[in-house]
Structure 1
Amino acid sequence: MCVRRYAPAHDSFKEEDMRAALYIDCGSIKAEDIPYIYEEIRKTDDLVISKMFGVEMKDIAEIAERLRIQNNMHCGDDQTSALVALAVEVMADAVGEDVQKIYIATGDLAVLPLLDKLKLMRTNVVVIGPCGADRVLIDNSEKYTYLEIINGGECTAEIPSADEIAGRIYSVSSYYNGMGEDVKLEQVYKSLIRRYPDFDVRNYGYTHLSTFVKKNVSGVQVVNDDCGGSYIKIVDDRKNIDDFAYEYVAGRGYTIEDMAELIDALREKFPGFAMENYGYHTDYGFILSFSRFQIWENKGIKMKKSFKLSSRSDEETEES
């Protein structure tokens, strides 16, 4: 039996809807953003608990009533006491069996100790907050989603470039390719989130991870199985690599002093290039796989004499 695991709304991966709890820090979240937060969660999960914390929550209470959202309201004398109440409620609900996933809507660094504790408990936690939040909060979140993105705006935070993300995707795909496997798109997504907690294809103007891969990652293709699962397959580009390498060395007088120069040139020419894709784990072994090359002075490369003569004959023929 096939189970479709890919939820295309914003590239989250799951086997089934999770029972989720939402805790809103009304001291750092605007009232008008709350409907978008609820809509974001309900795309993928079943929201069973919703609690809001703040000092003055009149506007937020009115929105909750208008949307017919059932909430537990917790007011405090100041922001600190409100966040303490939030932390107490989160911990109480996290140890129970009714909640499988926790969402915390905040932009306040004061929740860092709470996040650290939840990590130790291996609790599935998503922080939803503004683009202007301190980077420390973002980097210490298991997953961080930008408010501006879920309400249809643009990401103004400092995020990794599309090229950096593409390189990471190729690297993960290469690792699995070296083991003789095509990597699942779900595995790539999880790897990206571990490295970049705020990764979201919507940050780059896409709605599907597969589309991002097709548009930004060279040397791979996205394939689907009969169950609707998506995989990334490394494209064998060895012939183009060979042709480029031979031309590169010939253009430098058929000799280069350090094989690392050629490896760097290949990486620049072919984004995401990795020797492991071709079964090699050392520069030395990879260079020896070229039929026209020989190792020179233990670290350089020379074109074999017969191939140098052949190349010159070809050039003379073209000139005549």
Structure 2
Amino acid sequence: MEEQCYALLIDADNVSAKYIKPILTELSKYGIITYKRIYGDWTSTQHSSWKDELLTNSITPIQQFSYTQGKNSTDSAMIIDAMDILYTNDVDGFCIVSSDSDFTRLVSRLRESGKMVIGMGENKTPEPFRKACDKFTILENLMSEQNPGTTKNETSHDKRSKEKIEDAIIKMIIENQDINKPTGLGEVGSRLVSLYPDFDVRSYGYNMLSKFLEEFTRIQMVKHGNIVSVTLREDQDLKENIDSYVVQIVKKAGKAGVELSTLGNKMYEKYKDFKIRDYGYSQFNQYVKSLKHVRVEQEGTILKAVYKG
């Protein structure tokens, strides 16, 4: 398979020189870096730390004078260059390194033209820029990887709640179950990045997705040969107790049955942590239909559970 070619464009105004080696190492995982350019006002002492890195890492500095106070001319230069490179059509993707949301529209435009866009920036990078990218990497994660003893300052953007991630994975599994399709570990990883471009297991202290998933209580990994699938983890005793409780309520209701809304309320009152998705169902009525001694009947717009013995 032919390696992908990438253009690396760095905003020196919004990224520290200390990140350059981790940036190059990370991008090399995706393909060959054919353009390496960095933008800033090189007459300013602000960028002095970058100057040694440029020659060492063969990065081309693009001079952009700050003609007007408060105006970021670096943004304009990067955007113009990115579009020029796009129209040469000799790269497969771009890596935009900045912690500035001003490049959000540029990223969207590059993706509209069929290019892969990898974003990199610090924790402070605004959400719109992160979400615009195919993949967004937090630079502090790369530093932590190179210096394991270091700790990074976390922001509200840094870690998406683990429960939210687990819920998203459970939804994937259920969607696949509906079409009798197994959920592979690779699919989980790629779909999480599609949902959350800034998702990175390194934000949670892991280097492998499989190790990260071992933390979750509602899912499990099953290995068949070289294939690893992700499935729902069932507490069989708890499920049997819930099933029995629901059947007893329906049985007591007799021939009249019990409305599913009423049945659901009673069940959730007793089992407050019960989540229908944890058992492989997207709707409560699907779960009720699965019970051995219960059938679901419809009267107008009302669904009822009736005991069938």
Work out whether the TM-score is over 0.5: yes
5+ residue gaps, structure 2: 145-150
Distance 1:263 1:143, change over 3 A: farther
CA contact (8 A) 1:224 1:230 kept: yes
Instruction: Among all aligned residue pairs of Structure 1 and Structure 2, give the percentage whose two residues are the same amino acid.
Output: 19
CA contact (8 A) 1:192 1:199 kept: yes
Q: Name the CA distance, whole Å, in 1 between partners of 2:290 and 2:266.
A: 14
Q: Name the CA distance, whole Å, in 1 between partners of 2:189 and 2:289.
A: 35
5+ residue gaps, structure 1: 1-14, 307-320
2:61 maps to which of 73, 86, 91? 73
RMSD: 3.2
Q: Name the CA distance, whole Å, in 2 between partners of 1:26 and 1:37.
A: 13
1:58 aligns with 2:62: no
1:137 maps to which of 114, 126, 129? 129
Report the equivalent of 1:246: 244
CA contact (8 A) 2:79 2:106 kept: yes
TM-score by length of 1: 0.75
Report the equivalent of 1:188: 188
Q: Name the CA distance, whole Å, in 1 between partners of 2:19 and 2:176.
A: 40
Q: Name the CA distance, whole Å, in 1 between partners of 2:276 and 2:50.
A: 48
Report the equivalent of 1:261: 265
Count matched residues.
283
SS in 2 for 1:107: coil
Q: List per-residue Cα deviations over 1:237-274 (Å, max 9, x = no partner).
A: 67752432214665999567623336757793358425
Offset of 1:37 from its aligned partner? 1.1
Q: Give the alignment of 1:156-235 within 5 angstroms.
A: 156-158=155-157, 159-216=159-216, 218-223=218-223, 225-226=225-226, 229-234=227-232
Q: Name the CA distance, whole Å, in 1 between partners of 2:35 and 2:119.
A: 16
Q: Name the CA distance, whole Å, in 2 between partners of 1:271 and 1:289.
A: 12
Report the equivalent of 1:23: 9
CA contact (8 A) 2:75 2:103 kept: yes
SS in 1 for 2:123: coil
1:273 aligns with 2:263: no
Higher RCO by CA contacts (8 Å cutoff, separation 6 or greater): 1
